[in-house]
Amino acid sequence: MAISQKLLTDGESVVVDTRTHPKALLVPGIVLVLALVVAIFLDRKIGNGIVSLLVWIVALVVIVWWVLRPFLDWLTSTYTVTSKRLITREGILSRKGHDIPLMRISDVAFDQGIVDRMLGCGTLVVSDASTHGSVRLHDIPHVESVQRTLSDLLGKLHESPRTDDA
């Protein structure tokens, strides 16, 4: 589980725990292969010691910036739906989080393009009562299922009897 149990409140349980779909790693994977192919080609073609070293340094910089960084972003970004709130966490060195209490969520929708449908992911659009309006969570795996689960939670939350002290 991505979120620690000690960060949950009393009576709160995890309903959905996920991260961005591995589709987000497609471009970094292509960049990795291209960087290695180009570096190996130039290394074989040039064959000079100092120029060859420069080629591999440039390849390393490209791999760190365009492959390793997106992979670590993907690895450290999580989306959790609990019985009380929607929690997003992201960041490698510094962490950024956003919690939306379920009571504040007014609508849950999803968007799926043709590629998203083939890969089984999509964008979850959560509208809340804040000034931001809505939060878009991109490349959520099984987005329809997550949207349905979140809608069910909201329905149960709004159906539960309220105790008014009037």
Q: Which CATH number fits domain 5-20+77-159: 1.10.10.10, 3.40.50.2300, 2.30.29.30, 2.40.170.20?
A: 2.30.29.30
9, burial (CB in 10 Å: exposed 0-12, middle 13-18, buried 19+): exposed
Q: In the structure encoding, which two tokens stand for residue 74, read together?
A: 């993907």
Per-residue pLDDT tens listing for the chain (166 residues):
457 778 888 888 999 999 999 999 999 999 999 999 999 999 999 878 899 999 999 999 999 999 999 999 999 999 999 999 999 999 888 989 888 999 999 899 999 999 999 999 999 999 987 666 788 999 999 999 999 999 999 988 877 665 555 4
Q: Are 128 and 91 in contact (CB under 8 A)?
A: no
Question: What was the pLDDT predicted at 165?
Answer: 52
- pTM of the entire predicted model: 0.81
